[in-house]
Structure 1
Amino acid sequence: MVAVYAVLRYTSDLSGFRAGTTLLHGMYHRIGDHLARLPLGWYSGGRVGKVSVLASGGVLQAMGVIAHLLSPFISACVTPLTIVVVMLAFQWQLGLAALVAVPIVAAIQVWTGRSMAANDSARAEREQEATGRVIEYLQAQPVLRAGGRTVERFQSLDDSLQELQRASRRTTLSALPGVVGLAFVVQGVFTVLLVLGTYLALGGNLGAAELLAILVLAARCADPLLSLADIGGKLRGARAVLARLDTLLRTEPLPEPREPRRPEHHDLSFESVTFRQGDRTVIDNLSLSVVQGQRLAVVGPSGAGKSTLLQLLARFYDVDSGAVRVGGVDVRSISTEVLMAQIAIVFQNVYLFDGTIEENVRLGRPDASDAEVRAAATAARLDEVIERLPGGWETNVGEGGALLSGGERQRVSIARALLKDAPVVLLDEVTSALDPLNEAAVHEALDHLMTGRTVVMVAHRLGTIQRADHVVFLDAGRIVEQGSHDDLLRHDGRYAAFWTLGVSAGSGSTSSAPGVKGV
């Protein structure tokens, strides 16, 4: 029987681990695929911290139930019940006395679970908030150090950690009555069995050997029953995590078209587009078209909705009314895969994944040949960067590209876009934070990227705007002026004032000009 038990226990544990790791692998893929389909607006409101907790410890906790808790939980429930059945068969009085403990133990578990539910939920919220604050604290290091606050405590982080500590204390205290109550019940029932068994043995109704065997079995019940408190708490925590995972996975992504269409051309158009974020109207009944192969520059004050136009083109959001079209086809009628194949995006703040330069460039088109990757790097002036780096193509860029300068990261991003070879290019203030040397190199790379493609660029550098065929001046989500650069200067309106302020700044940028800060 010992040998059989050993084989069964080994098989059970191995099966649990395999099932747990399989579900863990599948859950990570499912979460990743789902997050990639959610609109960008969903990621506001502190959800980064919540997703971080769920995708790390949360998923491990939930999936660990199968690998670590399922077998002990079954054992803790089945072993005492089996022993009670055996006791009933051999001595019904003692078995009946032991059976009385079953509903009491069940009631304690239910009561403990209910009393801990609210505290578990509050603790989970505090943990998510604290995680978000830790991420914020790490990201805010340059600002804190620039403000001379490296020695001071980060108050918001301290407050969130203290709230987490208080929530954890409340959770522990709410579990304490159940743990103590369960211990009293187990010890009390054992005492009753001891007294009752002694009485029966002295009366000749039970032999000493039988009494000793039953008491050993009763003592064997104690450990599994007492472990129920710990296992039950972990199961409740896992259940709460599963509920949050279910909520995340039930969040509606942007809908995919039932009968997707593929655009045949690469002209762009906005038709009476209105887009709101909360109570704020970001784009207000805007109509605009970009001819295939044309370069459009979008300028205007901060908050005018410039970057939102690019995001609507890439369908990071869906419009509230109107339509955004690529090649005459509404972007909502194009599958995400096809739409993303049509568009290459270069952002102002470039994010590089922790890996080599070559791995980051190949994200544009993973199946590209080495010759194509090198050609894209040369066109983006990235080859100059690679030549002076000790590791060359194998240089690790660090998390977020932290080991490269801003200009170097931008060249990697442009090389990635060149390698993708998409017919539509979206540029979001690409050169706004570059020094003159890097700006010149990036402009040359952009010329390669824009050649023969339909381009929409959000810009405030005057040199970038001059490369456009058509200029749109945006304010409060509406087009105030549009036309060619020369025509708008002759019109002497908002754009002309914008241009004059930029020229007077003397650096080709209007970022410090009054009234157009952060354009």
Structure 2
Amino acid sequence: MIRMLLRVLGPEYAPALRRTVILMTVTAAAEGLSYALLVPVLRALLGDTPADAGPWLAAFGTAVAGYAVLRYVSDLSGMRVGTTMLRGMYHRLGGHLARLPVGWYGAGRVGEVSVMAGQGLLQAMSIMAHLLAPFIAALVTPLTIVAVMLAFDWRLGLAALAAAPVVAAIQVRTARSTAAADAERHERDKEAAGRVVEFLQAQPVLRAGGRAGERFELLDGSLRELQRASRRTVLATLPGAVGLTFTVQAVFTGVLVLGAHLALGGGIGAAEVLTILVLAARCADPLLSLSDIGGKLRSARAELDRLDTVLRTEPLPEPREPVRPVRHDLEFASVTFRHGGRTVIDDLSVSVPQGQRLAVVGPSGAGKSTLLQLLARFHDVDAGAVRVGGVDVRAMSTEVLMAQIAVVFQDVYLFDGTIEENIRLGRPDASGAEVRAAASAARLEEVIGRLPGGWAANVGEGGALLSGGERQRVSIARALLKDAPVVLLDEVTSALDPVNEAAVHDGIERLMAGRTVVMVAHRMRTVRRADRVVFLDGGRIVEEGGHDELLRRGGRYAGFWEISAPAEADRAASA
């Protein structure tokens, strides 16, 4: 457990953690040794001269006071180390998640990370603050008391010691029997968390469908499964708890019977038997708590294992000697990329000269957006190379690569803040004049003029207080402010109304001017602005050439155009 904690947290926490463990162990041993003074106290009280118990009572009181001080210091140390480790773990996990490739954040990650960063992390880090001290006390204090009993009477000491291997075996068996139940409960917990997020995000759809007042069956189902998994976890731990209680009580009964036998035979006196029974009873209490503490430790250990798995997930490798490109042309050289067991990009080669625009067209699932993700190095290719300015993106540092690229996605996420704060993400050190110039170029001024508070207006979480087109304009302004030489556009106008589409197109034109551009598009208005078009299907380039040239060929692209162009004309006419 300690080794796992240090592996997850890092070696810098080792000295403080070891000091705290040693202090907790000394405290638990001091508690057991203080009970050793009960032997002379009870012997004197039940003997012929009870007054002789006075010094022993004073010594016992002093020992208890010393134990209380040690307990206070060790608990305080555990809390301090625990809170320090929790803060450090949040920083380490957050920093690691920020360095993982964007492609790692696939389906199911929202629920997994939310559970891990919330209750999972608190549960794992509760080991030092709440669980380790009781666990050490439950082990060390009874063993210390048994050592005192052995010193007093070896027969009674051995009888008490008989519980140790049985208790250990019960704990090991319980851990094994509950492992599967604990893992299942975690999966159900993660799924339930994901369903809660989905339920909140799906409110517009549910209300539009007239189902706002109904129960959300997917969420209800996941919560029912979580309840069943929790019940199975409890049932799995029950035999261990019952077995532990039975063992402790049986050993205590054995010590009682043996003590009575020895007293009746004259081997020891009644005072000594009473003392041994008091010690045995005090030994039983922490042993009985092992069942509850052990269950909590197993859950915390499971969370540590999951944290360790995430922290062991390697970010995309960074070059030792990163190269900075001096040109801004783009190239896919025999690129193959596999994801989820299928080939998404299959031996694809295409280049974009500096300052030119490439449009990528094709049916859904053809791999269009994946091309942009490979350029931004959200993933690494399985074969071939992706180059910017003749330099493999794997030979650039993340900072250098991101400085070359501005990305405008179809789905724009805005942080809960002002429009200005969201635009500044493109270049935090930009002046106010530069921010306003970018906003003006993206035609945001009319949006800002409508908002109560203007520039100081809050856009809400995810930009919920703005329309899709308005969020897209903020995204374009952000990209304009960044002023990167390469621009990647991912179907930025596919879901906009004509007014917003026109405004966004104006912003995109300003953004694309003089830059190397790769655009994924369905709208022919966007495609016609490209210098070159590639039609992608099944991860391969089916056709490539200029717009007019591809229309003359009458191939897949021409068929795509025949379907799309009339629909766009009707849409524009109805506007």
Of 342, 356, 360, the match for 1:298: 360
Give the superposition deviation at 1:334: 1.3
Provide the C-alpha distance between the structure 1 equivalents of 2:282 and 2:324, rounded to a whole number of angstroms.
69
Q: 2:294 aligns with which of 204, 210, 232?
A: 232
Instruction: Say which is worse superposed, 229-238 or 7-16, in terms of deviation.
Output: 7-16
Return the alpha-carbon distance in structure 2 between the equivalents of residues 14 and 341 of structure 1.
47
Shift in alpha-carbon separation, 1:196–1:396, aligned structure 2, 3 A: farther
User: CA 1:498–1:103 in structure 2 vs 1: closer, same or farther (change >3 Å)?
Assistant: closer
Alpha-carbon distance between aligned partners in 2 of 1:105 and 1:285, rounded to the nearest angstrom: 61
- Contact 1:470–1:482, Cα closer than 8 Å, also in 2: yes
CA-CA distance at 1:198 after TM superposition: 4.0
> 5+ unaligned residues in a row in structure 1: which ranges?
511-519
Counterpart in the other structure of 1:426? 488
Q: Which residue of 1 aligns with 2:444?
A: 382
Equivalent position to 2:79, from 5, 17, 26: 17
Q: How does 1:467-506 map to 2 (within 5 A)?
A: 467-506=529-568
Task: State the partner residue of 1:165.
Answer: 227
The structure whose Rg is larger is 2
Percent identical: 77
Paired amino acid for 1:465: V
Q: Distance in 2 between matches of 1:30 and 1:125?
A: 24
Corresponding residue for 2:256?
194
* One of 119, 128, 131 as aligned partner of 2:181: 119
- Distance in 2 (alpha carbons) for counterparts of 1:83 and 1:381: 79
2:100 corresponds to 1:30: no
Structure 1 pair 416–80 and aligned structure 2 pair: CA distance change class (3 A): same
Return the match for 1:342 from 393, 399, 404.
Answer: 404
Aligned to 1:213: 275
- 2:160 aligns with one of 77, 84, 98: 98
In terms of mean alpha carbon deviation, does 259-268 or 194-203 score higher? 194-203
Partners in 1 of 2:554 and 2:267 — Cα distance? Answer: 112
Counterpart of 1:138 (choices 194, 200, 206) is 200
Greater CA drift, 277-286 or 124-133: 277-286
Q: Distance in 2 between matches of 1:391 and 1:9?
A: 57
State the 1:69 CA deviation.
0.5
Matched residue, 1:370: 432
Is structure 2 residue 378 aligned with structure 1 residue 319?
A: no
Alignment correspondent of 1:73: 135
1:260-312: per-residue Cα shift (whole Å, max 9, x none)? 21111111111222223345333233222112112222222222222111111
The more displaced of 173-182 and 158-167 is 158-167
Q: Give the residue type in structure 2 aligned to 1:92.
A: W
TM-score by length of structure 2 reads: 0.82
Query: Structure 1 residue 141: deviation in Å?
Result: 3.0
Residue 85 in 1 paired to residue 85 in 2? no
Q: Report the CA distance between 1:170 and its aligned residue.
A: 1.5
Contact 2:523 2:568 in 1 (8 A): no
Distance 1:453 1:191, change over 3 A: same
* Cα gap change, 1:279 to 1:223, in 2 (>3 Å): closer
1:4–1:360 distance in 2 versus 1, CA, 3 Å? farther
Residue 426 of structure 2 aligns to a residue in which SS?
coil
TM-score (norm 1): 0.90
Give the aligned length. Answer: 510
In the alignment, is the contact (CA less than 8 A) between 1:353 and 1:399 conserved in 2?
Answer: yes
Question: What is the CA distance between 1:424 and its match in structure 2?
Answer: 0.8
**Stretch deviating more after TM superposition (197-206 or 226-235):** 197-206
Contact 1:463 1:508 in 2 (8 A): no
Read off the aligned partner of 2:139 and give its amino acid letter: C
Is residue 257–residue 335 contact of structure 1 (8 Å, CA) maintained in 2? yes
Quickly say closer, same or farther: Cα 1:299–1:105, change in 2 above 3 A. same
Determine which of 311, 328, 331 is the counterpart of 2:390.
Answer: 328
Give 3-state SS (helix, strand or coil) of 1:363's partner: helix
Structure 2, unpaired ranges of 5+: 1-62
Match of 2:512 among 437, 441, 450: 450
Change (3 A) 1:370 1:2: farther
2:171 counterpart residue number: 109
Aligned partners of 1:502 and 1:508 also within 8 Å = no
**Aligned partners of 1:355 and 1:180: how far apart in 2?**
55
Task: Give 1:105 deviation, angstroms.
Answer: 1.6
2:244 is aligned to 182
Q: 1:509 to 1:23 in 2, by over 3 A?
A: farther
CA distance in 2, matches of 1:281, 1:182: 54
1:56-77 deviation per Cα after TM superposition (whole angstroms, max 9, x unaligned) = 2212111111111011111111
Q: Distance in 2 between matches of 1:444 and 1:45?
A: 34
CA offset at residue 411 of structure 1? Answer: 1.7
Q: What is the alpha-carbon distance in structure 2 between the residues aligned to residue 194 and residue 13 of structure 1?
A: 34
- Which residue in the other structure is 1:284 paired with? 346
Query: What does residue 42 of structure 2 align with?
Result: none
CA contact (8 A) 1:362 1:368 kept: yes
Check 1:9–1:279 CA distance in 2 against 1; reply closer, same or farther (3 A cut).
Answer: closer
Summarize the Cα distance change of 1:487–1:365 in structure 2 as closer, same or farther, 3 Å threshold: same
Q: Is the 8 A contact 1:462 1:508 kept in 2?
A: no
Cα–Cα, structure 1 residues 374 and 181, in superposed 2: closer, same or farther, change >3 Å?
A: same
The letter for the 2-side match of 1:299 is V
Is the helix fraction higher in 1 or 2? 2
Which of 303, 313, 318 is 1:256 aligned to? 318
Question: Could you tell me which amino acid in structure 2 is paired with residue 165 of structure 1?
Answer: Q
Do 1:134 and 1:157's aligned partners in 2 also have CA atoms closer than 8 Å?
A: yes
Question: Match for residue 525 of structure 2?
Answer: 463
Distance 1:12 1:380, change over 3 A: farther
Paired position in structure 1 for 2:421? 359
Decide which moves more: 286-295 or 382-391.
382-391
Q: Deviations over 1:109-160 (max 9, x none)?
A: 1222222122222222222222233333333333333334444443333333
Deviates most, 476-485 or 407-416: 476-485
2:536 match: secondary structure: strand
Q: Deviations over 1:173-218 (max 9, x none)?
A: 1111111122222223333333433444455544444444333332
Bigger mean CA deviation after superposition, 269-278 or 228-237: 269-278
How far does the alpha carbon of each residue in 1:34-56 deviate from its partner, in whole angstroms, 9 at most, with x for none?
33444444433534322322222
Verify the 8 A CA contact 1:461 1:509 in the aligned structure 2.
Answer: no
> d(CA) in 2 for partners of 1:402 and 1:125?
31
Which residue of the partner structure matches residue 438 of structure 1? 500
Task: State the 1:469 CA deviation.
Answer: 2.7
* Letter paired with 2:242: V
Q: Cα deviation per residue 1:423-473 (whole Å; 9 max; x = unaligned)? A: 111010111111122122222222222222211111122332233233333
CA RMSD of aligned residues (A): 2.5
Deviation sequence 1:448-499 (CA, Å, 0-9, x none): 2222221111112233223323333323333333333344444444434433
Change (3 A) 1:343 1:508: farther
